[in-house]
Structure 1
Amino acid sequence: MDETALTKELIELLKPIVLELNYQFYYLEFTHEDDEDYLRIYIDNEKGIGLDDCALVSKKISETLDKVDPIDVGYYLEVSSPGVYRQLFTEEHLTKSIDAKVSLELNELYNGKKKYTGKLLSFTLENIHIDYKNKEVSIPRNVIDRIILEGNV
């Protein structure tokens, strides 16, 4: 099973558990770092997320994963809040962050820079448009490594 299919299967399996516990399902990633595999689930709610919230969701998710066992390698389960300075992963995250201050971390130089911070103006499938120093800058998505919400402008 490829990673995309596994990720979709995990979302279908685990998102209802998070929602049933009255949390928002922010994002899920299954990633390989430093010779280890990690299943990371980001949860949120209006009141914020504390350690007890993460422990509760982790326990319920672990119970389901132990029964269904969809992952055929050893991994670490991490449940956490996306944080105040959260990474924007999806189109929905971007849409909700229009007019907010964001930082774009690039995987290569673009116009001589590897990081841009400014107000998110809009986005397309190909580009992210920000107000950078009172000038609209369009940055190709294929050079963007991460988009981080910095707060409101």
Structure 2
Amino acid sequence: MGRQVKDIVTELVKPIVANKGLELVDVEYQKEGENWILRIYIDKEDGVTLENCQDVSRELSTQLDVEDPIDHSYMLEVSSPGIDRPLKKDKDFTRFTGELVEVSTYAPVNGKKELTGELLGLEEDSIKLKVDDEEILIPRSKVAQTKLAVEV
């Protein structure tokens, strides 16, 4: 099919989200059970409303009908990334410096593949984390996922 659905949808949704003063956090396109799900995660500084999600969904649906990049049925979901928001872009790491985060790695770092600590930001191409009063640099190439930790 040439370009991947995720890339095409990302290009379509970016201007829609930007025009509404929102941030595009992520686009996922995956099969869950019998259904294909196209998920768009949006955010803004003071939180996303249901109306924000509906507006983006309506506009994107129109664009998807015109462009028709998906040749089978799917469900479109537009939502907030939630309280355990994934951190992917450099600006995410800057915005959430000082917050508690969970980092999952492909290979052990300091003997662990799951680290939880205070995000100190980015340093060169590594995530700087404070774990048990020790500063750790985790190369981004080893990181499977970084997300905000949910404190209970």
Instruction: Give TM-score, length-normalised by structure 2.
Output: 0.79
Alignment-mate amino acid for residue 82 of structure 2: G
Gap runs ≥5 in structure 1: none
Partner of 1:16: 15
Are the counterparts in 2 of residues 30 and 37 from structure 1 also a CA contact under 8 Å?
no
Partner of 1:110: 109
Instruction: Give TM-score, length-normalised by structure 1.
Output: 0.78
Does 2:30 match 1:25?
no
Aligned partners of 1:85 and 1:30: how far apart in 2? 16
Give RMSD over aligned pairs: 2.6
Percentage of pairs with the same residue: 34
Aligned partners of 2:55 and 2:62: how far apart in 1? 11
Alignment-mate amino acid for residue 68 of structure 1: E
Are the counterparts in 2 of residues 100 and 119 from structure 1 also a CA contact under 8 Å?
yes
Aligned partner of residue 10 in structure 1, secondary structure: helix
Aligned residues: 149
* Closer/same/farther in 2, CA of residues 84 and 30 from structure 1, 3 Å limit: closer
CA drift at 1:42: 1.3
Are the counterparts in 1 of residues 101 and 147 from structure 2 also a CA contact under 8 Å?
yes
* Closer/same/farther in 2, CA of residues 97 and 47 from structure 1, 3 Å limit: closer
Partner of 2:127: 128
Q: Following TM superposition, where does structure 1 have runs of at least 4 consecutive aligned residues deviating by more than 6 angstroms? A: none
Judge which range, 116-125 or 83-92, deviates more: 116-125
